[in-house]
Structure 1
Amino acid sequence: MTLFAGSGAEILCEALHRCGASTLFGVPGDTGVTFYDALARRADLTHVLMNDERGAVFAADAYARRLNRPGVVEVSSGGGATFAVGGLGESYAASVPLVVISSDIHRGSRGTGALTETDQVALFSGVTKAQRLVERAADIPAALTDAFEEAVRGRPGPVAVIVPEDVLDETARVAVPERAVTAPHPGPDAATLVPIARVIDGAERPVIVAGGGVHLAAAHAALSALAGRAGIAVATSIHGKGAIDETDPMSLGVVGANGGRDYATGFVADADVVLLVGTRANATNTDSFRAPPRTGAVVIYVDVESPGRAGRNYPGATGLTGDAREVLTALDRLVQANPARHARIAGWVAQERAEWDRAADKRPDPSPALDPLRVIQRVHAMVPDGATVVADCGTPTPYLAAAWTQSSAGRRLLLPRGHGPMGYAHPGGVGAAYAEAERPEAGNTAVPVIVFTTDGSMLMAAGALESAARSGLPIIYVQFSNGSLGWIKALQAFYHEERFFQTQLSAYDAVAVAGGFGVPARRARDLDEFAELFAEAMASGGPCFIDVPVPDEHDCLPPVSSWHRAVTGTETARPVY
């Protein structure tokens, strides 16, 4: 620990550096000018200028997911802080660790109706784990250290640090601790593990449903070891995708209503023992609590936060508090090896995978539009397995969840399913590109980040294209365009007798929009032309944009289980989230 003298803004920069931050995303505003002046003099902190605060949060969110460490976002008072809330809702719901630095009005202006005056503690309270209002420059180091630690402690999430502009101007001489922030790994209650291990030993169809908590705990190796030795099938939520090598004999793929493979959902629905590990197990992840059902199977809920989460969605489940890696490692020491069960489940999985592939190949051609599944298959075949993919909700998510197979474990497919916000992928791609450049194995920097987005999302987030162009980032944007808010239009088609209302967009020129921001852009008219354009984009080394015409979702069904039931008439009620 050393003494540091300077303004509050300079102390803030030093504290960020000492906490391990190297990159922050933000938009300048009146109350943060002093902070920007200090940032300009720091070669060890990279500030990435975004074009709106929600986008800055999404960029920091993708950065945090890819590197598995806190992302940092900076906003100013008033509109800056209020814009950030829309992005923070996703990070909070998805358990993504962020530190939000928000400048505020002068302390002497409180209560005067000053321009941009907002109660930021109250504003952020619904979308952050904690809020720290800093009243003195000398308190900044402690507030920052606490924020970084709180962001990764227990269930991770965003933490807001609010600093009035006059505190940024105030000078002080303070001790700034050097602290590398790491997430604690609480061990499980050993007394509860032995009976759980015996239940697993006696199961016929055990399954683990792995969520984002497996990524946060870096529990990939522990998950694979337990599943392989004991013969336990593994399904994942969308956030958990990549928790296990998806070519592993025990891997079922994604389960649930959005992007779940039908056989994966069926296996979980019929399992006799289900371990829910680091997942919310909400209606989407469980196909409206069909997989697993709320009665019948033995459900064991592993969560780092508290056993109380077990009963929220699965009353009667056994709650086990502990870090996913520690729990899975401990269970692996206790369960019996079961090669016969492994062989039986692996044989079944191999058959089902092959049948799923055959069915996918038989999908009708929606010409003149392109099938999103075929486009994703082409991209998958052209990029290395280590490529990072960022996508929006709507059309991209279910296809990527079901069809983008990762042949090695890790969180490289970033799909925002905390709230499922439109407009995530454009700025998220920027954050992911900066994360790629910082990874220790940065030989991957020649591999572009792939962004799958939609025309509806472009209308919300196109400004991030300017950020990508200004920084010359290696991002390939693949936009699925159908001239509609397709997901909502599908709900109107299936559950409201095709009474379409306010879901049709104008036929705007997305290629011209991207080109106007300085991103080379083309439109693909067929799959072969798309592949040619994509190959050119990969070789370019900078941002590129490809517009792809696709059908409405209700005319070319994605892997969304409730919609398939609606088409066959087996379920007519709109699903409840």
Structure 2
Amino acid sequence: MAPDDQPGTLIDETITSFTGRGADLLVECLVTAGVQVIFGLPGDTGVMFYDALAQRTGDVRHVLTRDERHAAIMADAYARATNEVGVVEVSSGGGCTYVIGGLGEAYASGVPVLVISSDIHESSRGSGALTEIDQIALFSAVTKWSARVDVAADIPGLLSEAMAQATTGRPGPVALIIAENVLDEGVSGLDLRSAPGRTTPRVPAHRPVPQVDEVETAAALIADARRPVLYAGSGVHSSGAANELLALAEKLSAPVATSIHGKGAIPETHELSLGVAGNNGGSPPANDALSEADVVLFVGTRANATDTNSFRSPPRSGVEVIHLDIDRSRAGRNYPGSLPLVGDAAATLRELVKKVAGRRTEPPWWTGRAARPEEFPPAPEGMIIPEEVVRQVAAVLGSDMTVVADPGTPTPNVAAYWTCTAPGRSVLIPRGHGPMGWAIPAAVGAALAVPDRPVVGFTADGSFAMASGELETIARLGLPICLIQMTNNSFGWIKMLQHLYAEKRYFGVDPGPIDAVAVAEASGLRALRAHDSEELREALRAFRNAPSPLYVDVTVPHMIDYLPPVPFWRDAVENGGARPVY
């Protein structure tokens, strides 16, 4: 190595050998793979990795977070917004255990995230050392693959395998565990030809298609249908299949519903769009059309109870179901007797478009995305109803932005009332596990993923308390993020369940208030409290004209007084319906 060369830096990209520390080699391989952003915060066992990062700040950006769970959520949102692998770094002990909460959502939602976790010195294993834990066992429940690096020379090959595992088949998190002595280990003249390619691994890594006879069988079912409906999930976004989905829908004149994860699979202003289906934010046109269809084509969705309005939209009998999914274990599993198609969404839909003869379905069996019939009572003084909050944000800021939303009050209202005017994954909502405190860190990941695109995040007071530490991160980075807090001074979703199904015995759902405006201001954001729609619009106009960190607290009526678009709750209020099974 020449005297002026930085340790671990390849001066000439055509050189395939490497000399340096394991930590330098790891960073070199990440840079070679095209990784641009790494989220995390340092711990004892990762000091050498951070030293290596410090020498490559021109090649890869490190985003310092306040909590490992939030770092994982940022990587998750980054991956959703780019279809690339999001990268999070943690250390042994508290770091790797804290990150689990963020990985659970990514695992359940099929999002490619790479966890790099440093570990105790190999010589300390089994000694009860500080921060010692079996990380392979720890990560097993929330990753699809994990490996321990025992020697530095194995880093290129194992990182390549990690990237491939994260993006092949159903995407998901993977973990690479590296002991601190391996990070400090010297390597000399290492062949780098096994390192990941210089293009960042994207989803999908491969585009398999079903057998020809399977596609022909599906095409025949669709061609014979009188009331076909297409149902799109996140797999449409992961595959980049929006054009193919719309082509099939238009060829059939078949309406399209989506899950929350699939929102935006086609423009929701299109005449064939039914909007979101299911029992959380599902529109009546979508649920009704699915319940009346004679053939339903699921595309890249789990088709679980939440997505299908507890298996009522569509029902499990009396309808032909075709389930296209990249994962063989998921295709058709919730609808016995359905036709499974295992393959990439875009590639398979292209084949279906070729095979299906053009046809048109006739009204009035479906009506498109009809106007919602709900008439809400005026909000009490000093409050704004959640639907109005969402609609005002869209009216002032427009739809050319990324939207993130927390569970609870934000999710059904954003799902139902935010309109995606262009195809693509512009709305990010965590429906794998529905973890509270997701939107604030997710906004960071989304903003860094698409730097020229503002982000609006819908959160609530319960979620704010779990994630407010990252407000400082937003301020420090100066990100174009507008956060809207819907405050009802309770854990509103659970309180509503107690109201409907536990005879109004409220318990454990009413924490004390927190002055979110004061906390946001102390963290470096501009913050205010909007008491009515005009004050909200004024704040939004200021953000539109000069996007910079903004926090707006809005008091909303509780769900008990304002029924959100949750079909089962409406059934409970009107007909005494039973609690849904998720």
TM-score by length of 2: 0.94
Q: Distance in 1 between matches of 2:129 and 2:184?
A: 19
Output aligned runs, 1:346-365, within 5 Å.
348-350=366-368, 352-354=369-371, 356=372, 359-360=373-374, 362-365=375-378
Equivalent in 487, 495, 501 of residue 493 of structure 2: 487
SS of the counterpart of 2:99?
helix
Q: Distance in 1 between matches of 2:445 and 2:19?
A: 32
Letter paired with 1:353: A
Work out whether 1:344 is the aligned partner of 2:363. Answer: yes
Higher-helix-fraction structure: 1
Partner of 2:557: 551
Partner of 2:179: 164
Give the superposition deviation at 1:232: 1.5
Give the superposition deviation at 1:555: 1.3
Letter paired with 2:442: G
The 8 Å contact of residues 397 and 541 in structure 2, kept in 1 or not, is answered as no
Deviations 1:15-39 (A, max 9, x none): 1111121101001100001100110
Partner of 1:242: 264
Structure 2 unaligned regions, length at least 5: 1-13
Work out whether 1:467 is the aligned partner of 2:473. Answer: yes
Structure 1 segments (4+ residues) deviating >4 Å: none
Equivalent in 220, 225, 230 of residue 198 of structure 1: 220
Give the superposition deviation at 1:570: 4.5
Partner of 2:249: 227
SS of the counterpart of 2:213?
helix
Equivalent in 10, 23, 40 of residue 24 of structure 2: 10
Q: Distance in 2 between matches of 1:534 and 1:506?
A: 28
Partner of 1:73: 88
- The farther-off stretch of 317-326 and 377-386 is 377-386
Partner of 2:234: 212
The 8 Å contact of residues 160 and 196 in structure 2, kept in 1 or not, is answered as no
Letter paired with 1:575: P
Output aligned runs, 1:200-349, within 5 Å.
200-306=222-328, 308-338=329-359, 340-341=360-361, 344=363, 348-349=366-367
Letter paired with 1:464: E
Q: Distance in 1 between matches of 2:196 and 2:335?
A: 43
Equivalent in 47, 68, 85 of residue 53 of structure 1: 68
Give the superposition deviation at 1:503: 0.4
The 8 Å contact of residues 324 and 342 in structure 2, kept in 1 or not, is answered as yes
The 8 Å contact of residues 477 and 545 in structure 1, kept in 2 or not, is answered as yes
The 8 Å contact of residues 476 and 538 in structure 1, kept in 2 or not, is answered as no
Q: Distance in 2 between matches of 1:389 and 1:138?
A: 42
The 8 Å contact of residues 159 and 196 in structure 2, kept in 1 or not, is answered as no
Partner of 1:406: 420
Output aligned runs, 1:441-460, within 5 Å.
445=452, 447-460=453-466
Q: Distance in 1 between matches of 2:216 and 2:303?
A: 24
Q: Distance in 2 between matches of 1:296 and 1:467?
A: 52
SS of the counterpart of 1:102?
strand
Work out whether 1:385 is the aligned partner of 2:390. Answer: no
SS of the counterpart of 2:450?
helix
Letter paired with 1:26: G
Partner of 1:575: 580
The 8 Å contact of residues 466 and 518 in structure 1, kept in 2 or not, is answered as yes
Partner of 1:175: 191
Q: Distance in 2 between matches of 1:309 and 1:483?
A: 39
Letter paired with 1:538: R
Q: Distance in 2 between matches of 1:73 and 1:554?
A: 39
The 8 Å contact of residues 454 and 481 in structure 1, kept in 2 or not, is answered as yes
The 8 Å contact of residues 391 and 417 in structure 2, kept in 1 or not, is answered as yes
Partner of 1:441: none
Give the superposition deviation at 1:221: 0.3
TM-score by length of 1: 0.95
Deviations 1:330-386 (A, max 9, x none): 000011111x31x637x9434x523x1xx24x3111222210100100111122322
Letter paired with 2:574: T
Letter paired with 2:433: H
Equivalent in 347, 350, 366 of residue 379 of structure 2: 366
SS of the counterpart of 2:398?
coil
How many residues of Structure 1 are paired with residues of Structure 2 in the alignment? 559
Partner of 2:6: none
Give the superposition deviation at 1:309: 2.3
Q: Distance in 2 between matches of 1:562 and 1:541?
A: 38
The 8 Å contact of residues 249 and 349 in structure 1, kept in 2 or not, is answered as no
The 8 Å contact of residues 188 and 326 in structure 1, kept in 2 or not, is answered as no
Partner of 2:59: 44
Structure 1 unaligned regions, length at least 5: 438-444
Q: Distance in 1 between matches of 2:326 and 2:163?
A: 18
SS of the counterpart of 1:24?
strand
Query: What's the RMSD between the two structures over aligned residues?
Result: 1.2
Deviations 1:287-337 (A, max 9, x none): 11001111110001111121x423421111111111001111100001111
Equivalent in 420, 427, 431 of residue 441 of structure 2: 427
Equivalent in 138, 149, 173 of residue 134 of structure 1: 149
SS of the counterpart of 2:116?
strand
Letter paired with 2:62: H
Q: Distance in 2 between matches of 1:310 and 1:388?
A: 30
Identity over aligned pairs, percent:
51
Give the superposition deviation at 1:229: 1.0
Q: Distance in 2 between matches of 1:188 and 1:384?
A: 40
Q: Distance in 1 between matches of 2:25 and 2:254?
A: 51
Partner of 1:107: 122
